[in-house]
Structure 1
Amino acid sequence: MRVSGDTLTFLGTGDAMGVPRVYCDCEVCTEARNTGVNRRLRSSVMVECGEASFMIDCGPDWRFMMEGLGKRKMRDMLITHAHFDHIGGLPEWSDACRWLGEKGRLYAPADVLEQIVRQYPWLPRQMEMTAVDDGITLGGWEISCWKVNHGKNGYSYAYRLQKGEYTWVYNSDSINLSPAEKEPLKGLDLLVLGTSFVHETAIFESRSVYDMKEAAQLLSEVNPRQTIYTHMSHDVDVRKELPLSEGVSVAMTGMTVDLSK
């Protein structure tokens, strides 16, 4: 049985600083300010499953994303890790839940929930927090997670989602995955993968996310049917030809993907 009607929408496709970067007058940042093709909010996606929906990650641009969607509430949220570009919108979400009188439902691995509460100790008053280490079901999707190497930034989590015959992974922040960390990336219909640069020249020990050249090598090993790159910095100019393998595309803000094809 194939999934029917479920969609994935890219609300933000940028790295931790977004595009344009406030200090930068490079060609990409200038274009992002003037015409907006390369304008990127911090990475986040929404999954819609009939009447149900949920988001993955809630960065500091969450309010702008909700306004763009014309939505006044979001009930369910998955979090990949407790870095600001992935949780900076939680206080605003919490405030929305308070005024709506409806608790949000926040899902993340137990250690990520602990980090979130240390940073925002008032959040549990406005939301139910559920650890997902042993898996969870949202919108009919069977969801599992595993820890992935985040380079100099420690670790993040990736999510593998399955419904019927369709399986996809959201892995926005990782680099240099071990064989064990790559294993859940095999046999996918879709891989959403973070690639901050086309080719990052910083010393490897200082880095935290794949670049597109390294990602191509990863894809040759795990062989997903379709791949979409996200979490892109101002190094990536989507107006230009990029070194993309067959079956690979880059995420654009507002882009919607049918989770059945």
Structure 2
Amino acid sequence: MEIRFLGTGASEGVPVIGCDCSHCATAITDERSRRLRSAILLTENGRSILLDAGIDIRQQLLTYQVRNIDAVLVTHEHYDHAYGLREFKYWPESGGQDGVTQLCAPRSLLNRISFLYDEAVKFSKLKPRPLPPHQFTQIGQFSVKPVRIIHTAVSFGYLIQTSTTKIVYLSDISATTPSIMDKYKRRLSGSDCLIINAPFFENQPGRHIGVREAIRLGEDLDCKKLVLSHINHHNLAHRELHDEINGAAIVAFDGMVIEL
């Protein structure tokens, strides 16, 4: 499986408009510190799944010449994860398997974001497909399970498996209490790759976990690779963060590819 990071930034992207902080200044000249909103593309044997479609998705799909997506999985309703669904009104008619790209998420989330994809459905570019939470659904050669996670909005992580690979994508997590960790361990342990949000270096209670907590979560879930993404300008710039964590995780950057 190929994992391509189309974007690795948080809601404001990096650099932030009008910001003079050291991270944003670094991002002007350091392309690995320059981040569009988070999205990843999974590809295996010519079939692809997109995870999240934020407001940068048009630029991202053009940059990496993505023309075929079998399914779009959405994690939650925030604009940096879902508002790019409007762009699929202009998606090519042959852009998905059997001509239509599936839009997949639990029904509760699909209902909340229907205003973002209604025109794409009207023009037969997207086809909504509700996924039962905490159960596997087959999407082509990918087996997909949404897992409820704690965030400020109704949010889901995704466990995605093929015959050879298992990855976990957790784009926004606000808390990891002992009871929540027990659930994660039962549902998400033992992946080949865990991709997790790390907007801030320190925990932001009620909003996002920090880098250290993300690393601890990766250890608790016994993943083979841990990748930090969804990074904002309050965190360290790319090279500084890479050096600070000293190999405990991979710091993602826009355009990065991991082969599993």
Normalised-by-shorter TM-score class? 0.7 to 0.9
1:87 pairs with 2:82: yes
| 1:194 alignment counterpart | 197
What's the counterpart of residue 236 of structure 2?
236
Regions of 4+ moved over 6 Å: 98-101
Q: Which amino acid in structure 1 is aligned with residue 44 of structure 2?
A: C
**3-state SS of paired residue (1:228):** strand
Query: What is the root-mean-square deviation of aligned Cα atoms in Å?
Result: 2.2
The residue that corresponds to 1:45 in the other structure is 40
SS of structure 2 residue aligned to 1:16 = coil
Q: Distance in 2 between matches of 1:110 and 1:83?
A: 16
Distance 1:55 1:149 in 2: 22
CA distance in structure 1 between the aligned counterparts of 2:113 and 2:63, rounded to whole angstroms = 26
Q: Is the 8 A contact 2:5 2:257 kept in 1?
A: yes
CA shift, 1:136, in A, is 2.1
Structure 2: unaligned runs, 5 residues or longer: none
Q: Residue 174 in 1 paired to residue 169 in 2?
A: no
Is 1:22 the counterpart of 2:17? The answer is: yes
In 2, the alpha carbon distance for the partners of 1:190 and 1:158 equals 13
Q: Per-residue CA shift, 1:108-156, capped at 9, x if unaligned?
A: 1111110111455434313210011143223412111110001xx1331
Bigger CA drift: 55-64 or 115-124?
115-124
Could you tell me which runs of 5 or more consecutive residues in structure 1 were left unpaired when the two chains were aligned: 1-5
- CA gap 1:74/1:224 in 2 versus in 1, 3 angstroms: closer
Percent of residue pairs bearing the same amino acid type: 27
Distance 1:157 1:130, change over 3 A: same
Residue 197 of structure 1 contacts residue 211 of structure 1 at CA under 8 Å; is this kept in 2?
A: yes
Cα distance in structure 1, aligned partners of 2:153 and 2:187: 20
Aligned counterparts of 1:100 and 1:248: Cα–Cα separation in 2: 34
Partners of 2:248 and 2:212 in 1: CA distance: 15
Change (3 A) 1:100 1:211: closer
Which residue is equivalent to 1:164? 163
Tell me, yes or no, if the aligned pair for 1:78 and 1:106 is still in contact at 8 Å. yes
Give the match for residue 3 of structure 1.
Answer: none
1:92-107 equivalences under 5 Å are 92-97=87-92, 102-107=99-104
For normalisation by structure 2, the TM-score amounts to: 0.87
Q: TM-score, length-normalised on structure 1?
A: 0.86
Q: Quote the offset at 1:243 in angstroms.
A: 3.7
Cα distance per residue 1:15-73 (max 9 Å; x no partner): 01111111311111122223433110100000111221121111100111111112345
> Partner residue of 1:124?
121
Q: Which amino acid aligns with 1:136?
A: T
CA–CA distance in structure 2, aligned partners of residues 24 and 174 of structure 1 = 26
SS at match of 1:175: coil
SS across alignment from 1:199? coil
Question: Post-superposition shift, 1:175?
Answer: 2.6
* 233-242 or 95-104, larger mean C-alpha shift: 95-104
Paired residue for 2:220? 221
Counterpart AA for 1:162: Q
